[in-house]
Amino acid sequence: MERIYTITEWITRFILLNLYWILFSLVGLVFLGIFPATTAMFSISRKWIQGDIDIPIFKTFWSYFRSDFLKANMLGFLLIVLGFGLYIDYVYVKSLNSALGIILLGSTLLLTALFIITILNLFPIYAHYELNIFQYIQRAFSIGILHPIRTIMMALGVIGIYFISSTFPGFIIFFSSSLLSYLITWIASRNFSDVIEGN
């Protein structure tokens, strides 16, 4: 009975966190809400992994959302610009029918892979460290490159949850984002432990 109660508690936590992420993203009209809602979600996942599982989820989520609203949106805007730039570059070089076009396409795909590596590590780093925007990106890139196996594990987690969500659409509403943030944060926390031990 105790195990069933514990499992039920965790299911409830993940459902609430996922619903709050959706709600606060919509409150910010998605464009202004999704990034602070995402950083708040990762910050709560970090607290859970550190053993602080009895925090009031709504109150804590709102606190992070409000305090990180501007900074998270600035970071998100930069990511959108970089991502859009890579997309435009890809469309352009793909239209080139030459050896140079093939080389440029390969370079664009490499940059895109590095961008994805950075994104995978960025939000747990945001929740863990107090840095400026460019330092977050720099550290996310460095840690992602230095720990390729864990970065691949994060990517596989994203793919796995994507396929589950595609098969069971209800999973998106109740679990997809919160479970993914917890999984990525748990993997990233191993990187942070290595950094501390290395220091």
Burial grade of 61 (CB within 10 A; 0-12, 13-18, 19 or more): buried
What confidence category does residue 9 fall into, taking pLDDT thresholds of 50, 70 and 90?
A: very high
Cα(159)–Cα(89) distance, rounded to whole angstroms? 25
Closest CA to 177 of 192, 157, 156: 157
Q: What is the per-residue pLDDT for 192?
A: 79
Give the global pTM: 0.93
CB contact at 8 A, 148 and 11: no
pLDDT, tens digit, 9 for 90 and up, residues 28-37: 888 899 999 9
CB contact at 8 A, 40 and 23: no
Chain mean pLDDT for the chain: 93
- Helices and strands (DSSP H and E) totals, the chain: 9, 0
User: If you average pLDDT over residues 14-20, what whole number do you get?
Assistant: 97
What confidence category does residue 88 fall into, taking pLDDT thresholds of 50, 70 and 90?
A: very high
Name the 3-class secondary structure at 31: coil
The radius of gyration computed from the CA coordinates of the chain, to the nearest angstrom, equals 18
Residues 6+ apart with CB under 8 A from 148: none
pLDDT, tens digit, 9 for 90 and up, residues 92-115: 998 888 888 889 999 999 999 999
